[in-house]
Structure 1
């Protein structure tokens, strides 16, 4: 078995440190901390067999990338395309399997255990795992990782600069391990993964479980609780060799106001869910999870959450932190999202990066809807298309069970498909992403190309950084005129690509504002003229937001942005994620629009 000296013993520490809070087991070990480390600028590590161990001489703090201060790597040049990591751990033999989990590594990863190759993965933002039991030995074991990140425009890199320096709204690069690494010991017969699908229309939840390793009949049992009270239990027997099984549970309760405890930003109710894999004699596996009963759909020009009109008040969150770039602690993520609620927003658009799974758990628990967005590549090619298709599938799988996630954004502002307006091939690619997402997850809404030049989309989303409320209001007076036109004076882009047009979708302003404020330094920027006082910022925010609130056919907005990020100083929070403005005043501006019926 693994050495459990570092295992969390209390529920609170499990919630904050366990990297996969919606699929929890007890036996795991955190591998974050000090690893051996080495640059490999000559690409000689594989030839010299560094994977056999003992060749790396520097140190790094995982999961912080070498470009960040918290990595504790002292290096003036930030442009190393190949890096190596090494970590030792103790293991005592058992009959169980051992999984090595990486939550996110940028970009192309190869892994060895005790000099034996155990697998590889391509993609910089999504989790992956390897079953390493065949490579383990009693006593000390060595994990070696080689990572290559060319940071080129055919990779999905999001907001990472592909130039030698930062520019406009592109920031410091990320190379290597940037989300948690951990080990997990499981029985050879275990629940590999689940899909949890709430069915609001009939007060049930559907479970699709994948069971691994059984050669005799086993039972998958699911038990549902709400606030510690038992709701229901159901189970199904699985034949030998069959891996996928479906289970349906009725979750109605006499104590719920309407028979079901619905999830929404106002009432973020979560059901606890316990899975067991067993037969008549053995309990093989036990997993703790949760789910929320909520639906998301469109009806004409409206977006409906749990069949009620839902007005979205979102803020753009790019997930960058001073000293650690895209890596954050649980406490940092939680404090950010508490502030989002305090300022009157009911959701976040997670922009051009894929969040830590604990971030989604916090959104689930606090009651914030979330738009999950695929990071962009910046060149249209067969290579970039393949990479985007592959990693977007993994993105959907990562987000599927979280009730807070209501929308997938697959492309942003035609990045990577710059000629989409008139190029059928690029239009077809965005449509392929759209249909793939709909096939993998038909329960959520999809935005194909956010901001402008839409092809297939469930929502007409517009990016408009107009800082003049008078002209902005005039541009949205006539819906018939602007939906198939170019209402944004800042982008001057058409809402739809050539050959496509408005089909009655709900309309949202999915980026606006971006008001720069703070000490002016060379190279920093925001949108529009820079106000001189905080009062001027709040006045502009109020005037622009009033335009959106008062336009009846606009179903919500997303303000840019939550925090200052490197050279960009248009956050409502500063670089240290502290308030730049009074949150009470911001809430008075943001939260004037409501949804559904309010019980006093």
Structure 2
């Protein structure tokens, strides 16, 4: 007898899509959409073939092993059909009859990937197959994982399932054999035999964890067939709203990983890349990856086991819940358990993501199915946690081990919303569970913010494929109202004159990546300030095609903040906690830092603080239990006398016995004592006039004032501007307008006949009336600031040069950030007439926040910043921006 032998059939195969006239060459493994530019978005039918030489069987069995083929596969050898397989994600095997095998052979694989065309369904429409993110980033069909030919002894192992119990050290091994008798040996991480038989109890076990990924091996011998199978002793349990890894408190610091790659889409290019990206994940402070609604290449888990990374895995979603899709999801989960059940890195399963494929809000039967499926999976695998529906607004949980929820808000645009949502979630909000009385909530499920984050952007020069723009730059146009379309990003940047704002495109990329960091930093600090929240999942680990919220880009290049991110994504974190981020000379800023502990207790510590101007000190911190928040009390920071406005960092360091255990900083905008510009104002609105007077301005009659300040314009105002007046419009939403800056009505356009309603004429566009500027509420639009970020900027020139900070607005703006944007500006106007604006995603959807426009002989300056949020003088940034706007409106020759 001769032992098991393996021969790779990876490489070049003949390939023909149903749209092809002739055969061509395709790489295997790789989806055909990744291999061929003309087939990027195709589904349907395709065929593969290749020849192979088989060694002499010598009494062995020849088995073709397919890692994964999408979605239906028919396998023929030497013209004879041997097997049909359904399923995109999991392996299958085909035994080749001995009398069919020759010295030279041909294997053929016919594939079918369903789409929306009923002619290609074969009983399985795309909506009813587990497809995952193929509905987002495009289809992936064909042979996308490795193919091998194995020659096995007639009596051999076909499956090995291992259950290792950390509490007792007991190892139970379940085997499936074609015949014969098996011998099992258990080897410790050093390779020493420490147990024998299908049931063994191991002494002095070494637990597996991310910090110490101790792997044991089961060596199974069936005659001449010898195979090895790694496993580990570990547990992840919950109690009293907390999580425990191997019995010790544990805090989740995870990132969503969609497991997409630059060239192969879902096929990783090499083991080396998988290892490299996992090392980078650990550098970023991550202790878990949430492998998102897909089943990855098995090497993904092997690397996680070996290098030490916890994994949260999910069933690829369907789009509609039917008998067929229910069966396929169950079969997929059974296959996942069979293929991946031995991996100690996998600790959580998810059944449904965000109600995709189910309709829990509307259908009681779906909620009942979800609850039953949770019970089935817990019974099938009691060693792992199960999430029923990883939820987001408006859906919810029915029965789950983790009370996890997704929400996205960017800061400073929506800081107040982030704070309120997080506080409600931390308080055990009712909206995370079914309101229909059919759920089972224990009340102690750990709270996890399982998706949050905001976009940065990669540098296009660093995500090339073979030196060229990647094909995916032409995708994303249907997402985010067009904001997710990458191609032409540098052209749009240049066309809008943004180089005069940022100093060049590369500087812009660095700025938006630091914006992403500042968002994640703030949001993590807020979550860590609530000890009831036991972890989070950052969206996401890497960019995916047009989706640019990764901690790494698509090519696994780090963001600019890579080396410092681990300070905030750490087990122990200093949460600064302050109400506002701006102050003026002579004021005292009050900081209330908290110290969030993770999995380990913190001994008596010292919090050190220091700020420019010689302000420094330290505060004693009592010893703190794991998964808790230690309070430092308030720290008063006197703002020094300054000659000009500037930013200043408050450095925070935590030490225990002199050794640093945590570091953080908070950046403030500081202002000198204010000098009121010698500009007279006419302010018709009484409330606005009182604010101007309180800010120190001299008010005058309209014909004697330098600038008129209003919230909105009427016809009389337009006539005054045309005659030479200068106006500042604070278009902050105080007054109801007609979708522009005008508060007066406007007639419809000709022809005067009923068209779609009872009012004659065609409605005028809001831009058609002078000053030809639209005013649009951000709420409900892509300018709002959720998942795809809007990058709000101010050109630091003229009167605005005195404002502290960089081109992008920061947290000091959270009280005045606009709730409205202005459109109606031509591209060239963004290079000068627009002083502050916003672009969304890949530099799309430009809009103005501060702009000037010549109207006749006069000048109009309009701003949507909310300068009236606080009492006059309370927010020094609001005062400084008011002054800059007044100066811009009054400055002679400033009109574009």
Is 2:454 aligned against 1:503?
no
Alignment match, 2:189: 226
Q: Tell me the secondary structure at the aligned position of residue 157 of structure 1.
A: coil
Alignment match, 2:362: 422
**Which of the numbers 88, 100, 103 marks the counterpart of 2:51?**
88
* Residue 293 of structure 1, CA deviation: 0.8
Give me the whole-angstrom Cα distance separating, in 2, the residues matched to 1:478 and 1:582. Answer: 30
Give me the whole-angstrom Cα distance separating, in 1, the residues matched to 2:400 and 2:199. Answer: 31
Q: 1:475/1:128 Cα in 2 relative to 1: closer, same or farther (>3 Å)? A: same
Q: Tell me the secondary structure at the aligned position of residue 289 of structure 2.
A: strand
1:106-255 equivalences under 5 Å are 106-134=70-98, 136-151=100-115, 152-161=126-135, 170-214=136-180, 218-232=181-195, 234-235=196-197, 247-252=198-203
Q: 1:334/1:395 Cα in 2 relative to 1: closer, same or farther (>3 Å)? A: same
1:83-482 equivalences under 5 Å are 83-91=46-54, 92-134=56-98, 136-151=100-115, 152-161=126-135, 170-214=136-180, 218-232=181-195, 234-235=196-197, 247-252=198-203, 259-277=204-222, 283-328=223-268, 329-417=270-358, 419-452=359-392, 453-467=396-410, 468-477=414-423, 482=428
Quick check: 2:251–2:571 contact (8 Å CA) kept in 1?
Answer: no
Give me the whole-angstrom Cα distance separating, in 2, the residues matched to 1:65 and 1:76. Answer: 10
Alignment match, 1:29: 7
1:10-29 equivalences under 5 Å are 27-29=5-7
Q: Tell me the secondary structure at the aligned position of residue 519 of structure 2.
A: helix
Quick check: 2:398–2:433 contact (8 Å CA) kept in 1?
Answer: no
Give me the whole-angstrom Cα distance separating, in 2, the residues matched to 1:77 and 1:349. Answer: 27
Alignment match, 1:21: none
Give me the whole-angstrom Cα distance separating, in 2, the residues matched to 1:116 and 1:519. Answer: 51
Quick check: 2:398–2:441 contact (8 Å CA) kept in 1?
Answer: no
* Residue 41 of structure 1, CA deviation: 5.0
Q: 1:74/1:415 Cα in 2 relative to 1: closer, same or farther (>3 Å)? A: closer
Q: 1:207/1:435 Cα in 2 relative to 1: closer, same or farther (>3 Å)? A: same
What's the TM-score once normalised by structure 2's chain length? 0.55
Give me the whole-angstrom Cα distance separating, in 1, the residues matched to 2:51 and 2:89. Answer: 25
Is 2:514 aligned against 1:535?
yes
Q: Tell me the secondary structure at the aligned position of residue 42 of structure 2.
A: coil
Cα shift readout 1:524-553 (whole Å, capped 9, x = no counterpart): 549xxx994333222211100111112111
Give me the whole-angstrom Cα distance separating, in 2, the residues matched to 1:591 and 1:302. Answer: 17
Alignment match, 1:579: 558
* Residue 482 of structure 1, CA deviation: 4.2
Q: 1:413/1:90 Cα in 2 relative to 1: closer, same or farther (>3 Å)? A: same
Q: 1:174/1:212 Cα in 2 relative to 1: closer, same or farther (>3 Å)? A: same
* Residue 399 of structure 1, CA deviation: 1.7
Q: 1:377/1:115 Cα in 2 relative to 1: closer, same or farther (>3 Å)? A: same
Alignment match, 1:491: none
Q: What do you get for the CA RMSD once the two structures are aligned? A: 2.5
Give me the whole-angstrom Cα distance separating, in 2, the residues matched to 1:577 and 1:326. Answer: 15
* Residue 380 of structure 1, CA deviation: 2.1
Quick check: 2:409–2:454 contact (8 Å CA) kept in 1?
Answer: no
From the CA coordinates, give the structure whose radius of gyration is larger: 2
* Residue 471 of structure 1, CA deviation: 3.1
More moved, 362-371 vs 509-518: 509-518
Give me the whole-angstrom Cα distance separating, in 2, the residues matched to 1:444 and 1:76. Answer: 40
Alignment: residue pair count: 517
Q: Tell me the secondary structure at the aligned position of residue 465 of structure 1.
A: coil
Quick check: 2:43–2:139 contact (8 Å CA) kept in 1?
Answer: no
Q: 1:557/1:80 Cα in 2 relative to 1: closer, same or farther (>3 Å)? A: closer
Quick check: 1:509–1:554 contact (8 Å CA) kept in 2?
Answer: yes
Q: 1:385/1:135 Cα in 2 relative to 1: closer, same or farther (>3 Å)? A: farther
Alignment match, 1:242: none
Quick check: 2:456–2:515 contact (8 Å CA) kept in 1?
Answer: no
Unaligned runs of 5+ in 1: 3-24, 43-54, 162-169, 236-246, 253-258, 278-282, 486-493
Give me the whole-angstrom Cα distance separating, in 1, the residues matched to 2:511 and 2:369. Answer: 44
Quick check: 2:77–2:108 contact (8 Å CA) kept in 1?
Answer: yes
Give me the whole-angstrom Cα distance separating, in 1, the residues matched to 2:13 and 2:304. Answer: 31
Give me the whole-angstrom Cα distance separating, in 2, the residues matched to 1:495 and 1:574. Answer: 35
Cα shift readout 1:73-93 (whole Å, capped 9, x = no counterpart): 352563240011112111223
Q: 1:211/1:129 Cα in 2 relative to 1: closer, same or farther (>3 Å)? A: same
Quick check: 1:313–1:347 contact (8 Å CA) kept in 2?
Answer: yes
Give me the whole-angstrom Cα distance separating, in 1, the residues matched to 2:280 and 2:420. Answer: 33
Quick check: 1:475–1:482 contact (8 Å CA) kept in 2?
Answer: no
Q: Tell me the secondary structure at the aligned position of residue 269 of structure 1.
A: coil
Q: Tell me the secondary structure at the aligned position of residue 129 of structure 2.
A: coil
Cα shift readout 1:142-178 (whole Å, capped 9, x = no counterpart): 11111111132111111112xxxxxxxx102101111
Unaligned runs of 5+ in 2: 116-125, 461-472, 486-508, 573-597, 604-658, 660-896
Quick check: 1:105–1:125 contact (8 Å CA) kept in 2?
Answer: yes
* Residue 592 of structure 1, CA deviation: 3.8
* Residue 498 of structure 1, CA deviation: 2.6
Q: 1:317/1:74 Cα in 2 relative to 1: closer, same or farther (>3 Å)? A: closer
Give me the whole-angstrom Cα distance separating, in 2, the residues matched to 1:557 and 1:79. Answer: 36
Give me the whole-angstrom Cα distance separating, in 1, the residues matched to 2:58 and 2:77. Answer: 17
Quick check: 2:161–2:174 contact (8 Å CA) kept in 1?
Answer: yes
Give me the whole-angstrom Cα distance separating, in 2, the residues matched to 1:340 and 1:184. Answer: 35
Q: Tell me the secondary structure at the aligned position of residue 533 of structure 1.
A: helix
Give me the whole-angstrom Cα distance separating, in 1, the residues matched to 2:145 and 2:283. Answer: 27
Give me the whole-angstrom Cα distance separating, in 2, the residues matched to 1:266 and 1:532. Answer: 34
Give me the whole-angstrom Cα distance separating, in 2, the residues matched to 1:219 and 1:416. Answer: 43
* Residue 128 of structure 1, CA deviation: 1.2
Alignment match, 1:51: none
* Residue 477 of structure 1, CA deviation: 3.0
Give me the whole-angstrom Cα distance separating, in 1, the residues matched to 2:93 and 2:265. Answer: 24
Cα shift readout 1:112-135 (whole Å, capped 9, x = no counterpart): 111222111111111111222346
* Residue 501 of structure 1, CA deviation: 5.9
Give me the whole-angstrom Cα distance separating, in 2, the residues matched to 1:80 and 1:476. Answer: 42
Quick check: 2:313–2:350 contact (8 Å CA) kept in 1?
Answer: yes
